[in-house]
Amino acid sequence: MLHNLFEEVENHYNEMIEIRRHLHQNPELSFQEQKTAQFIQEYYKKLGIPYQSNVGGNGVVAKLQGDKPGKTIALRADFDALPIEDEKDVPYRSRNRGVMHACAHDGHTATLLIVAKVFHTYREQLSGNILFIHQHAEEVAPGGAQPMIADGILEGVDYVYGTHLWTNTPYGVIQTAPGNFMAAADKFTIHIKGKGGHGGIPHQTKDPILIGSQLISSLQHISSRKIDPLATAVLSIGKFHAGNAYNVIPDSAVIEGTVRTFNPELQQCIIAEMEKIIKGTCHGYGADYSFDYQKGYRPVVNHSTHAELIIKSAEKVKEVEKAEMISPSMTGEDFAYYLEERPGAFFFTGAQKENQFVPHHHPLFDFDERAMKIAAKTLISTVINANQLSL
């Protein structure tokens, strides 16, 4: 049966590309994905697979019932885009100014729709049920996973799986990990409230740029000197804004950044250390401050048995050159919430274009579309193998 399912993926590969490129040309931002959701609904309507719309917001969930008894297995794909201008010179470039699929969610959606079509063709031989979760708003916390779960989509589900087309990884490689796989992703904002003045009379000011520079340097000492070297944590500054003129010291400055952790206790330790450093530095220079720390998605923690199942399933796909366990990634994903509710695993499908690596969330982002076939076949193989698990 697996061979026949794989052949069906090959037969529908051109359609998979067409779907992906259509979605790439018509991206929608998180929580605004009405047309994309409608496109997904129309696809399931044509297939004759029952679906629910407006799940937890703009989410769509379809359910395929096999003709034989078995487990209920959920597969998830996200479909929101990012506020980025598409700068690629390709025929399928985004038509929506300032909006772009720069994280492969268009590919995730195309992959899952074809997986649904393939399984529907062989539903008479299918054991159990498959739930196809099309999730909105992965890119912006609090995300779409939690409200969809709150709507009860995981009721009766035995296992849940998902993949991310990953351009950091070469084409032909599948990667996952038992346990910690992706980190908790938090955001912080620091407002420094100093006293501005003339650039030539700095002693009359409380320079927020000087304070901010000192603060950025000191915050880096948290990971190097305040936590166990064997612990895993990242603190990065992504934004430092102050002033509008070369010869004027401004009144205030804004610093924004992210903290990535796997351990809640370590997360709290970092927050406490940040508060002490910010307070001490700002008050030491006679300035005031505000500190806003927003906890984002929790860590993606794979269930070990299911991570191993992913590897074994991927090895059945001839295009997979390597299926490997890797060290955790410090990127974040709200797939975390599904794995808190049900056993399962998340994995990376290598999608790097040969000699054309561009990172996710970049204006030139693109991926090797052949990776969608590997993702589809690996998900299909996982569903078939998961039905044989006895836990």
221 marked as part of a ligand binding site:
no
d(CA 110, CA 15): 9
Tell me the C-alpha to C-alpha distance, in Å, between residue 168 and each of 75, 151, 360.
Answer: 23, 34, 8
The two structure tokens encoding residue 64: 């395929």
Residue 105, annotated ligand binder? yes
Q: Which of 136, 97, 107 is nearest to 365 (CA)?
A: 107
Pairing of β 127-135 and β 68-78? parallel
* 361 annotated ligand binder: yes
Annotated ligand binding at 103? The verdict is: yes
Report residue 32 as tokens. Answer: 């605004």
One-letter amino acid for residue 28 of the chain? E
- Residue 40's alpha-carbon distances to 83, 112, 124, 170, 200, in angstroms, are 22, 10, 23, 29, 61
For the annotated catalytic residues, the residue numbers are 80, 138
The CB density around residue 314, as the number of other CB atoms within 10 Å, is 27
* Separation of alpha carbons 328 and 382, rounded Å: 21
Neighbours of 328 (CB within 10 A): 18
Task: Could you list the beta-strand ranges (E) of 147-232.
Answer: 159-170, 173-176, 179-182, 184-193, 197-198
- As given in the structure block, the two tokens for residue 30 are 């998180």
Of 165, 118, 130, the closest CA to residue 15 belongs to 118
Q: 24 a known binding residue?
A: no
E-assigned strands of 203-339? Answer: 233-241, 248-249, 252-261, 288-297, 300-302, 322-325
Pair of tokens at residue 43? 């696809």
Cα dist from 218 to 95, 207, 226, 310, 332, whole Å: 44, 17, 11, 42, 25
Do 276 and 201 contact (CB within 8 A), yes or no? no
Output the known binding site. Answer: 103, 105, 139, 164, 361
Output the known binding site for Mn(2+). Answer: 103, 105, 139, 164, 361
